[in-house]
Amino acid sequence: MSETSPATMPPANTAASRKVFIKTYGCQMNVYDSQRMGDALASGGYVATDAIEDADLVLLNTCHIREKAAEKIYSELGRIRRMKADRAEAGKDLTVAVAGCVAQAEGEEIIARAPVVDLVIGPQTYHRLPEALSRVAKGERVVETDYAVEDKFEHLPQASARQVRSRGVTAFLTVQEGCDKFCTFCVVPYTRGAEVSRPFAQIVAEAKSLAEAGVREVTLLGQNVNAWTGEDAAGRAVGLGGLLFALAEIPGLTRLRYTTSHPRDMDDELIAAHRDLGGLMPYLHLPVQSGSDKILKAMNRRHTAADYVALIERIRAARPDIALSGDFIVGFPGETDADFEDTMRLVETVGYASAFSFKYSARPGTPGAEMGGHVEESVKTERLARLQALLRDQQMAFAKGLVGETLSVLVEKPGRHPGQLVGRSPYLQPVVMPESVGEIGDVVEIEIADAVANSLIGRGTPATQSFGMVA
């Protein structure tokens, strides 16, 4: 996932439509949120543009996870301020909005520091976006970050079938938000709130609508997605595993994924879903952050390295072909050379198909920022380089191990070059294939001919499960 990406909406029905430019920072949840804001704005007459210069509304959907996230937004706002001034000289208006986790964390401070901003809106109040923009149009500068927890999923705008089709054959579907884990390095509990599960019936209804509109693969989203709980259609208490079993029954929905998980919420029902559901892809993102028990305790992860490894063994026993992905933080306060070597040993023990790794950076307001023993930047840089080299070697070894294998690939879009198509393997890798293998929306059996830096190269075989794009 790139750090920034445009939201997409259907083409304009009228030349007089207002245009919105949405810039998305961060995770899949923010991408999903941008789509939902786009849906809400489309109902109010806005259409998307990829050119910020053409926009009547610029909306920055922000992320607070990485270092100096807020400062990056203020720098971007400085550039937008000059553009807004030029627009004003020409007698034209430009509305500027900041959304997302920085908006939730900074609130009124954004309005105070950046007069160019007309609207600040938090992740749980996107359903109020059209009304907030109406207030802005009347000359008010608006901050909308207060919300009732029980309202989180009550007002999600629904995308039309045409909007869904414009986004392709894969889709995100939020099922859970917030976090109760309070890891000492993380701002999510403060910006997204407590863990709240979306109702079972809402999730199933949206998944059915997505499938009817041509979506073939759904990724369930949540800050701690496997903390989801609810009651199924029969009134029985179920967790994420039970939800996955229900979604697997939806006609046309051939693939399921979920992210991001916490080891403490990986229960027997969910492991059974990996064992029994062929449509649940054999790829699991299960962050551990460190291999040192001392650092895990300081992070408030509430599991040990041995707990994590034992969990991986149980999952692999249920689904031997599963590929693992993880998150790692190096240089957390108090991390010694020995602690870091514990992390390297854990990586060697588990073996990852992919992973994300970062240097620790203090997030204001988190316990980690107040801890002693902060690690020198040069030490963090050296450790991260070593860890990433090992993870790259493992990723390439996993990919090379697939050469000669035949994989089911969902065809997603045209390739960069004529005659090519691109899809995703069960392990989430891009697969480049000849266009003769099938149509967008097909699930095709592909022999893997080669593995390069960030993708697989495939040859088609006659076996195809054809769905095609819905007209």
Has this prediction a pTM greater than 0.85? no
Query: In b/e form, how buried is each residue of 128-139, taking b as 16+ CB within 10 angstroms?
Result: bbbebbeebeee
If you average pLDDT over residues 433-445, what whole number do you get?
94
Peptide bond into 343 cis (omega under 30): no
Q: From CA 175, how far away is CA 111, in angstroms rounded?
A: 31
Q: What is the pLDDT of residues 44-91, one digit of tens each?
A: 789 889 999 999 999 999 887 666 667 788 888 999 999 999 888 888
Q: Which of 457, 400, 410 is nearest to 431 (CA)?
A: 457
Q: From CA 325, how far away is CA 356, in angstroms rounded?
A: 8
Residue 146: count of CB within 10 angstroms of its CB: 9
Say what the pLDDT of residue 69 is.
67
If you average pLDDT over residues 396-410, what whole number do you get?
97
If you average pLDDT over residues 326-335, what whole number do you get?
98
Say what the pLDDT of residue 27 is.
76
Say what the pLDDT of residue 359 is.
95
Say what the pLDDT of residue 40 is.
82
DSSP of 190-237, one letter per residue? HHT-S-EEPPHHHHHHHHHHHHHTT--EEEEE-TTGGG-EEE-TTS-E
Task: Report in angstroms the alpha-carbon separations of 292 from 198, 346, 379.
Answer: 34, 9, 17
Q: What is the pLDDT of residues 173-220, one digit of tens each?
A: 999 988 999 999 998 888 778 899 999 999 999 999 999 999 999 999
Q: What is the pLDDT of residues 114-147, one digit of tens each?
A: 999 999 998 877 778 888 999 999 999 999 887 6
Q: Which of 75-84, 299-308, 457-466 has the lowest mean pLDDT?
A: 457-466
| pLDDT higher than 90, residue 354 | yes
If you average pLDDT over residues 320-332, what whole number do you get?
97
Say what the pLDDT of residue 73 is.
86
Say what the pLDDT of residue 144 is.
86
If you average pLDDT over residues 299-317, what whole number do you get?
98
